[in-house]
Structure 1
Amino acid sequence: MSNTIESSPIMDKLKYAVSFLVAFTLPMFMRLNNIVLGVYIVILLCDSIIYKRKIISITGIKQAIPVVVFFILAFGSALDFEKILVLKYLEKYWSLLLMPMLFLGQENGYETYKLKLFKGLVYGCFVTLLICNFNVIYEIISHNEPVNYFFRWRHLGHEFSKIADTHPAYLGLFICMSLYCILNKIVDFNRIVKLVLLAGFTIGMFQLASRVALLIYIIVWCIFFIKLLRREFKWVIPVAIVFITVISVFFTFGSEYLKDRVFSYDSVMKDDRFERWGVSYEIFLEHPFLGVGFKDITNERVLKYQEKGYMVAAKREYNAHNQFFEYLSLNGIVGGIVYILSFGYLLAVAVKKKQYVFIFLFGSFFVANLTESMMVRIQGIEYFALFGSLFISKFNYKNALR
């Protein structure tokens, strides 16, 4: 018989509330989110100790491998044979180790936290957009700018999102996930709330001007409309009207910067991140087996950026902006293989078990990592740790692919 003691109602309510807040603060204010995440981990640890939940077991370790392996890669990158280990490099990565173990120790963890986490993410994205738009309105008024400056370059992209201490590509990905949850009723809202959320997200996606995130967003809408029209053909005309209206508004009020940023072929093909991929690949060729690690990666990249004349990239110390090349340069061929195999496994399980929300979650995250190194920044790390842990808590590792 199990020695586990049933949690108190107060502890359960506390866990539910803080799990909502972790996802709610994920799209915004990194320090605030870090504090909430820390509190959440402490609460789950206390819950596991007080109520005698088994945090670590052989089965649990096996289940957690697809997530924990990224902490192991970070640990390997942090190794410094002169100082043995530089712990400061691991600060961002602890959630990849702790979250899977703690989730697996919770009884019915998946059913308990699924709704709280997804709903928290939806509301968090919307509030983040509100904060950014209130700032835009304030700046327009304080600088006595005309209303049509709303979609000018100074209120788009990084300029739009920096007030909330977030990155356009990351916030855009979270909004895509939120859109999927709303349209597929993973989380449900009344009609008015749903319309407000969808309108806010659609406007916000153009303000963020993140090409990959906007492409994913449009694909989600297209799939939804196709399914809708197959069920009810009467929606053809309303859908066509909405589509034409959105396109007309964009081309009427969108600035030239926004149009070029989103739709210009030249802006895509001349993106200097392609050149930065080449730099990270060169570093991999020079250190093919174990990579250069955290200690030397920045200096190695900056030197190569300077050699090739990529002065902006050198000054801002840009990362690879591609997670696969990031792991190749940091961890060598080991990192690249682990990255592909881990995501391949998670997607395979999601497909096998027909978990469509996680097919989309892992698939969209992988696509976003083609142009971003999301497992380098804490927002991306936590997003993967949180929802990856939620997913693996649903299935037993041994029979996941049966």
Structure 2
Amino acid sequence: MARLVPFVLAPFIIFQNKTSKKGISMFVKAFIIGNLILLLALDFIAIYDMLMANSVFVELGKHKYYRFLYTRYTMGDYFSHIYLSAYTLLTLVLVHQFNFFRKRIKWILTLYLLIHLFMMGSRAVVISIILASFLFLLIASMLKAKFFRYLLLLLLGLTLLSTAAYMFKDTIFFNRYSQIFEWYGKRDKVLERNYSINKRIKIYIIGSSFFKTKSFEIDGTGIVDSQIEKRYNERFKNEFNFKTETYNAHNQYIHNFIDWGYLGILVLLFLLFLLVKDATKKRYLWVLFFWLFFAILLSMESFLIRQRGIMLFIIFGSLFMSKDNLISTIKNEG
């Protein structure tokens, strides 16, 4: 762990002491362009895979998957779709917060990024975006009446999407999102099944039990998986069947609590509070939306247990909280 400290702290030191606004502007542009290039490359890989296989579908047992989606986002070995989804949303936020592109190009990029967010199939990211949008617009509507119309549009859009997901719940394209309808009136099925989302709920049941028994001590780092497995075998094995390859908490707050107790959660909440407060104070509305999304996402994913999550949090947290009004400067450059 010690060897990772300089690696983790380096971006924080760089951005806290950065004097060149042009350099930061170049970094933000590079991040946007880099993410777009990666998504385009994955598009070509998926198309090539379809052509070589001469099939639109991937068949695994009784299940079929669209090859175009499967190759890149669902089960592929290229990357974690959770992290890329967060990077893609951040790219969308940067495109709108900074004035790098003309209006028409900006909205073309918006459509392209939104399509990819949907295709990546990360339910945690989709749910976090929806909840963050609702929370952001609810707060904004209280401050400025003009945002109320956007809140109504969001609710209308959610109604239409929910209706579509229900009507086509048996199709390959919507089955990842329509599983929620299976729970209505069948809550006993949640603990009987071993689908990915049912496993997640079981993990949360086991993980949340630590809040009732854990004291104030700090037990260490990297013990979460073993502790959850041990807790399941000791207390929950007779309550429900739980077959899984990993005992990842899939919840950063639970993860921090098991590792570091109450201090772990308090430090994380304090950092998130600072980021949200700073974005609100400076009226960085798109940035505020992203941190609301990020805070909600942490309740469904242990996003900060890998370098690719830690680096994003530290780099952009430091950048957005700079004392100078960097975003206004970059807008002027645009």
Q: Same fold (TM over 0.5)?
A: yes
Q: TM-score, structure 2 length as denominator?
A: 0.70
Gaps of 5+ in 1: 1-85, 234-241, 397-402
Structure 1 distance, partners of 2:88, 2:293, is 11
Counterparts of 2:57 and 2:225, CA distance in 1: 42
- Structure 2 counterpart of 1:298, from 225, 239, 244: 225
**Aligned partner of 1:311: which letter?**
K
CA change 1:171–1:257 in 2 (3 A) is same
- The aligned length equals 288
Q: CA deviation at 1:373?
A: 0.9
Q: Is the 8 A contact 2:73 2:119 kept in 1?
A: yes
The CA distance in 1 between the partners of 2:73 and 2:32, in whole Å, is: 19
AA paired with 1:334?
A: L
AA paired with 2:243? M
Distance 2:248 2:6 in 1: 21
2:83 is equivalent to residue 173 of structure 1? no
Residue 118 of structure 1 aligns with which residue? Answer: 28
Contact 2:50 2:68 in 1 (8 A): no
Shift, 1:193, TM fit: 4.0
Give the alignment partner of residue 209 of structure 2, picking from 282, 300, 324: 282
- Measure the CA separation in 1 of the matches of 2:15 and 2:304: 20
Q: 1:293 to 1:189 in 2, by over 3 A?
A: same
Q: Give distance in 2, aligned partners of 1:140 and 1:214.
A: 26
Q: How does 1:1-400 map to 2 (within 5 A)?
A: 87=2, 91=4, 94-108=6-20, 111-146=21-56, 152=65, 155-156=68-69, 160=73, 165-182=78-95, 184-190=96-102, 193-215=105-127, 256-266=171-181, 270=190, 271=197, 272-283=199-210, 285-306=212-233, 308=237, 309-312=241-244, 315=245, 317-394=246-323
Q: How far does residue 368 in structure 1 lie from its aligned partner after superposition?
A: 1.3
Does the 8 Å CA contact 1:170/1:379 hold for their aligned counterparts?
yes
1:363–1:286 CA distance, 2 compared to 1 (3 A)? same
SS state at 2:101 partner: coil
- The alignment's TM-score, normalised by the length of structure 1, stands at 0.59
Cα distance, 1:289–1:155 mapped onto 2, change above 3 Å: farther
3-state SS of the aligned residue for 2:312?
A: helix
Q: Deviations over 1:240-263 (max 9, x none)?
A: xx99x9999999999824312124
Distance 1:356 1:191, change over 3 A: closer
Cα deviation code 1:57-114 (max 9, x no counterpart)? xxxxxxxxxxxxxxxxxxxxxxxxxxxxx63xx63x5444232222222225xx3344
Match of 1:274, as an amino acid? I
- Aligned partners of 1:159 and 1:263: how far apart in 2? 21
Identical-residue share of aligned pairs (%): 21
Q: CA deviation at 1:359?
A: 1.4
What amino acid sits opposite 1:213 in the alignment? V
Q: Which amino acid aligns with 2:109?
A: L
Displacement, 1:143? 1.8
**Distance in 1 between residues matched to 2:66 and 2:98, nearest whole Å:** 35
Give distance in 1, aligned partners of 2:257 and 2:51: 47
Deviation of 1:352 (Å): 2.1
Counterpart residue type for residue 258 of structure 1: F
CA-to-aligned-CA distance 1:304-349 (integer Å, 9 cap, x gap): 345633221xx2x232111111110110011111111221122122
Distance 1:250 1:331 in 2: 40
Structure with greater proportional helix content: 1
AA at the equivalent of 1:328: F
Contact 1:156 1:208 in 2 (8 A): yes
| Equivalent residue letter for 2:86 | L
Q: Mean alpha-carbon deviation: is it higher for 214-223 or for 162-171?
A: 214-223
Q: Secondary structure at the match of 1:152?
A: strand
The letter of the residue matching 2:305 is V
CA distance in 2, matches of 1:208, 1:295: 28
Who is 1:81 aligned against?
Answer: none
Which range moves more in the overlay, 261-270 or 373-382? 261-270
> In 2, distance between residues paired with 1:252 and 1:134?
31
How far apart, CA to CA, are the structure 2 residues paired with 1:204 and 1:295? Answer: 32
For 2:170 and 2:30, the matched residues in 1 are separated by: 33
Contact 2:214 2:261 (8 Å CA) reproduced: yes
